Amino acid sequence: MNFFGTDGIRGLANAHPLTPEFAMRVTFAAVKVVKRHYKLSKDNDFILIGSDTRRSSAMLIYAAGAAAMSAGLDVINLDVVPTSGISYLTNKMGAAFSIMISASHNPFMDNGIKIFGPNGYKLSDEIESEIELELFNENNERPAGEAVGRLRKPSSFLVEPVFEYVEYAASLIEKGPGLSKKKLKLVIDGANGAAAPYVKKIFEARFSVELINCMPDGKNINFNCGSTHMGPLAKIVKESGAAAGIAFDGDADRALFIDETGAVVDGDQIMAMLAIDMKETGRLKNNLVVTTVMSNLGFIKSMQKHDINIITTAVGDRNVLSELLRRDGIIGGEQSGHILMLDKNHTGDGLITAVSVVNLMKRSGRKLSELARCVQKFPQVLINVEVSGDKNFYKTDGDIVAEIKRAEEKFLNRGRVLIRPSGTENIVRVMIEGENKTEITNAAEDIAAKIREKMS
């Protein structure tokens, strides 16, 4: 595909391809393809559109909304909503499909388009490919008169849809006997993004909450904050004596944690502690966890120790989702903090991840650092190399291939070498894992230098 990557379409907002005109083309094509795959009726002849807090989001929301109405569907503009919220509401409200305008953890200048099918799941590769084939079809018929779509206001519903999702997330916080009575203190970093307006409402009733980076201005999303910049959160957690810190990314589909000592708790540790708890309480469906090739060897060994089956996929939460559905599992995710719990929502959900972890802390009475020790992580080095041109050139260039092969032979049976192009940026990622941090760092730097020399 030329436009869809591992997480929708993403790039610099108001530049090729992410112009308002292109957002209209994508939406019009999506309507046509969805009608081809799913039966639409008067009950589901509408779509949901939402966004994170970027300055450019409104521009793309209105363009996409205009295209959907031009194609004959009504539009409900949810405005600022977590990606996980739009997934939940698509299924709950019975929409034809939904569009999320967001570039996730990218800086505010970027934006993106993610599309969810009527079941709340991200569209398959096959359907996205069909949308691309329809993008520049100029022979589309347009409805007229009463067949033109309308704009529906969220306030016309008995409960505004976004707050229905927020109430759902809050309802998952466990209460009753058997829980620690201590009111845990949480420091929550909203990344000045889609979670920012809602985290207080979800957590303040049962926790002592300190909020940081929850005042979005259109430009400060992900800027030195959130799950990609956790140093400031770690400092506050440690100095304040909080039980944990929670960091979301810009669209709140992932969450990472800081334990009470100031250490980062990543997606591998989150998945492991939740999966182990689910197994011990009889809730781990088919005794299965799905992860990606980026997961630490320590995670794999932890799951093996607890006799939990592991399936590994290519990077991308859509790949994890596909395997979970195929094997009828309910939990999986990525080291980056995208955690899917399909018994609760249809996509990675940072808010529900956060609720699940604090539930476990309250129920077990254990500190987050203790829970995270279920994974003894191997040293891992990740270098992101900015490249130009074909991101897959490293696979065929003789010098780069030779450098990679040297590292693979060196760490055979005692580590891993993984080289892959980013699905959303002009970057090749070099990851090496092993027992000796200096040794793997030197090898990763050698490969990165060769890629930089030949591909920059």
Contacts of 312 (CB under 8 A, 6+ apart): 290, 291, 292, 293, 295
Joined tokens for residue 402: 């030779």
Query: In terms of DSSP bridges, do strands 74-80 and 46-51 run parallel, antiparallel, or are they unpaired?
Result: parallel
Active-site pick, 98, 104, 295, 336: 104
Joined tokens for residue 251: 């669209």
Instruction: State the SS3 of the chain.
Output: CCCCEECEEEEECCCCCCCHHHHHHHHHHHHHHHHHHCCCCCCCCEEEEEECCCCCHHHHHHHHHHHHHHCCCEEEEEEECCHHHHHHHHHHHCCCEEEEECCCCCCCCEEEEEEECCCCCECCHHHHHHHHHHCCCCCCCCCCHHHCCCEECHHHCCCCHHHHHHHHHHHCCCCCCCCCCCCCEEEEECCCCCCCCCHHHHHCCCCEEEEECCCCCCCCCCCCCHHHCCHHHHHHHHHHCCCEEEEECCCCCCEEEECCCCCEECHHHHHHHHHHHHHHCCCCHHHEEEEECCCCHHHHHHHHHCCCEEEEECCCHHHHHHHHHHHCCCEEECCCCCEEECCCCCCCCHHHHHHHHHHHHHHHCCCHHHHHCCCCCCCEEEEEEECCCCCCHHHCCHHHHHHHHHHHHHCCCCEEEEEEECCCCCEEEEEEEECCHHHHHHHHHHHHHHHHHHHC
Joined tokens for residue 447: 């490969």
Q: Is 98 a catalytic residue?
A: no
Q: How far apart are CA 97 and CA 166, in angstroms?
A: 20
**What's at 68, amino acid-wise?**
A
Q: How far apart are CA 128 and CA 3, in angstroms?
A: 9
- Are the beta carbons of 51 and 60 closer than 8 angstroms? yes
- Are the beta carbons of 456 and 386 closer than 8 angstroms? yes
Active-site positions?
Answer: 104
